[in-house]
C-alpha cells in the first residue's frame, strides 16, 4: 500500500526544503513541521479500544490507543523526522537503527541497533526522509521483523519510484507513506529532483 500524503501545507514546506539555499537550522525546522503534518494520515488506522471516560458531569466513552507505538528513525536522516512525530505522539518509545549507504555499491551498512523489547505487541513507525534505492528501508524492515516486530509502517518525505518498487517487492504488507514521489534516481543513487543528501543538510556536514 502506497499512500501519497498530498497536502498544501506539506507541499509548500517541501518546496522550501528542496531549495539548496535553505540553511540547516531552517531545513531541520521545516522537516520537523512536515513530519508533524504527516502524523494524522500515518496513524489514521491505528487500532483503538473503547474505554469509559469521566467528564465533570457524567460518564461517557473514549478511545485508548491499543498498542505501544515505537518510532524507529534510520540514522542519521531519520532523526530529522523524529521530533515532529514525538511532538504529536509523546508517549511513543524510540528505537534506533544506524545504516550508512556505501557510496560505491549503494548497499546499506549497519552500524547500530537499539530497540525496546518485546516488539511483537507494538505498532512500529519506521522513519527515513529519503527512499532512494530502497536498500536501507528493506534492510531496516528485515532487521525489525527478525527482532520480532509484527506491525510496521514506513514513512518517507521523498520517494523514488525505484525505492517504492523495491520495498513493495520485499515487504508487500508494509504501508508506505510519502509526501512526494519524485521522478527517478540518478546514476549515483540520488533522488531526482530530490533535495540532495538529507543527512548532510540536516546536520550541516556538506
Ligand atoms: C541516505 C538516506 C537514507 C538512504 C536512502 O542515508 O538518508 O537513509 O540513504 O537510500 P537507499 O534507499 O538507496 O538505501 P545515508 O546512508 O547517506 O546516511 P545518512 O542518513 O547518515 O546521511
Quote the ligand 1 centre to 154 CA distance (angstroms): 14
Q: Which atom of ligand 1 is found nearest the CA of 166?
A: 12
**pLDDT tens string 170-199:** 999 999 999 999 999 999 999 999 999 999
CA angle 27, 33, 39 (to 5 degrees): 135
The protein residue with its alpha carbon nearest to ligand 1, atom 10, reads: 132
**pLDDT tens string 59-82:** 999 999 999 999 999 999 999 999
The protein residue with its alpha carbon nearest to ligand 1, atom 9, reads: 101
Three-state SS for 53?
Answer: strand
Domain boundaries, the chain: 2-203
CATH number belonging to the domain at 2-203, selected among 3.30.9.10, 3.40.50.2020, 2.160.10.10, 3.20.20.70: 3.40.50.2020
Quote the ligand 1 centre to 105 CA distance (angstroms): 13
- What global pTM score does this model have? 0.97
Three-state SS for 163?
Answer: helix
Amino acid at each position: 500500500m502506497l499512500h501519497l500524503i498530498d497536502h498544501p501545507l506539506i507541499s509548500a514546506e517541501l518546496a522550501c526544503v528542496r531549495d539548496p539555499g535553505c540553511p540547516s537550522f531552517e531545513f531541520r525546522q521545516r522537516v520537523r513541521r512536515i513530519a508533524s503534518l504527516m502524523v494524522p494520515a500515518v496513524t489514521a488506522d491505528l487500532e483503538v479500544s473503547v474505554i469509559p471516560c469521566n467528564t465533570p458531569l457524567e460518564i461517557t466513552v473514549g478511545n485508548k490507543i491499543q498498542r505501544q507505538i515505537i518510532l524507529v528513525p534510520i540514522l542519521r536522516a531519520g532523526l530529522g523526522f523524529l521530533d515532529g512525530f514525538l511532538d504529536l505522539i509523546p508517549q511513543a518509545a524510540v528505537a534506533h537503527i544506524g545504516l550508512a549507504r556505501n557510496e560505491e555499491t549503494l548497499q546499506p551498512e549497519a552500524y547500530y541497533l537499539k530497540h525496546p523489547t518485546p516488539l511483537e505487541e507494538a505498532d512500529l513507525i519506521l522513519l527515513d526522509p529519503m527512499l532512494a534505492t530502497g536498500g536501507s528501508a528493506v534492510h531496516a524492515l528485515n532487521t525489525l521483523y527478525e527482532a520480532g516486530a509484527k506491525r510496521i509502517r514506513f514513512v518517507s518525505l521523498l520517494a523514488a519510484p525505484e525505492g517504492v518498487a523495491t520495498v513493495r517487492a520485499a515487504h508487500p504488507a508494509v504501508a508506505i507513506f510519502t509526501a512526494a514521489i519524485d521522478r527517478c534516481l540518478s546514476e549515483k543513487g540520488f533522488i531526482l529532483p530530490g533535495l540532495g543528501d538529507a543527512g548532510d543538510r540536516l546536520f550541516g556536514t556538506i
